[in-house]
Structure 1
């Protein structure tokens, strides 16, 4: 029945998904292929080309584990929603108690992933759900903190959101650098935006801008 459930999700057949779940289909059994996605993750990927959020709701109502990792321990459903930038899916998962502080085998964490691409609304949702507990953690391939990512992008709204949630501008990243050290070269940036970011991050208290 697992193959039928995945087929129904991929075909965006919400009624069939609900019927299979009512008939006893396992909402947590992963795919047999190497990727090993679970139904919730497949349903999130399906949203990109017409899938319905109702499928996620149905899976959760029938016992889908919102914190279950895929077979390779790369992603939980929440990490999948963040990486795919599916805000509605993230809202559903947060309401269902998904952990916003998970860390993948490669060190990817939801809040850092949002800061890296500038997903402000998703970052706000994660912080509301408790992501501030790990707000100063660094990791991933870059070794940056969430604030370091926002600084690198000169993303003032994200910088302000993170600071308001308790991010420490002097929290070191993997290279023992602070967030303001991650600002792009001032000469290659909009000077007003750069100066505003530098001031917000407290760099003016430690050194003069180059």
Structure 2
């Protein structure tokens, strides 16, 4: 690996936007990979270094480049819940259909983790498929119900997904709907929301 490439990876991981600019000016490649096949933009996204990501996006970095775990800069935003990073990557035109190792889009981990602001922004600012089904047979709605803690954040996410047109009665791979999961878990607040749209 040449010195400028190494410098760019280090700058991205550290969130040093000025050093990233210098490395790029010295000929660093935007798509250089570290030992885990992570690009500088993925490293910046993982650590929520927004300013550095903006430098990389302006240089043409790929928001869809996946590492050895199938993570990409765009997909990672759903895990971190960073609205600022999501918006930093939108000018790069990320592929909203790219999936992680579980077969999910960025919306699904965001719903599971209770990232309300991210889910709201993603639904408002992109045309992501609200009913995408991952390899577990779960949609974002099902993940919010099955894996969420049923607190206010997950209730709000269920509301946001339903308002965005999520199919409330789309069952999982075992034929169980979000409402049935909510009732089994005793999640009365979420169950009430789901009953309204039946």
Settle same-fold status: TM greater than 0.5: yes
Report the TM range for the smaller structure's normalisation: 0.7 to 0.9
Which runs of 5 or more structure 2 residues have no equivalent in the other structure?
171-177, 183-198
Q: 2: CA distance between counterparts of 1:136 and 1:46? A: 29
Superposition TM-score, scaled by structure 2 size: 0.74
Shift of 1:179: 1.4
RMSD: 2.5
Q: 1: CA distance between counterparts of 2:71 and 2:143? A: 19
Q: 1:45 to 1:159 in 2, by over 3 A?
A: closer
Moved more, 95-104 or 189-198: 189-198
In 1, are the aligned partners of 2:12 and 2:41 still within 8 Å (CA)?
no
Superposition TM-score, scaled by structure 1 size: 0.70
| TM-superposition CA deviations, 1:49-101 (whole Å, max 9, x none) | xxx4222111111211111112x242111011111211111010001110111
Q: 1: CA distance between counterparts of 2:158 and 2:42? A: 33
Q: Who wins on radius of gyration, i.e. which is larger?
A: 1
Q: What residue in structure 1 maps to residue 136 of structure 2?
A: 175
Q: 2: CA distance between counterparts of 1:147 and 1:88? A: 23
Q: 1:152 to 1:200 in 2, by over 3 A?
A: farther
Q: 2: CA distance between counterparts of 1:106 and 1:145? A: 14
1:58 is aligned, of 13, 18, 22, to 22
Q: 2: CA distance between counterparts of 1:99 and 1:149? A: 21
After superposition, residues 12-91 of structure 1 pair within 5 angstroms as: 26-28=3-5, 38-47=6-15, 52-70=16-34, 72-91=35-54
Q: 1:195 to 1:58 in 2, by over 3 A?
A: closer
- The DSSP-based 3-state class of the residue aligned with 1:183 is helix
Q: What residue in structure 1 maps to residue 196 of structure 2?
A: none
- The DSSP-based 3-state class of the residue aligned with 1:90 is helix
Q: 1:92 to 1:74 in 2, by over 3 A?
A: same
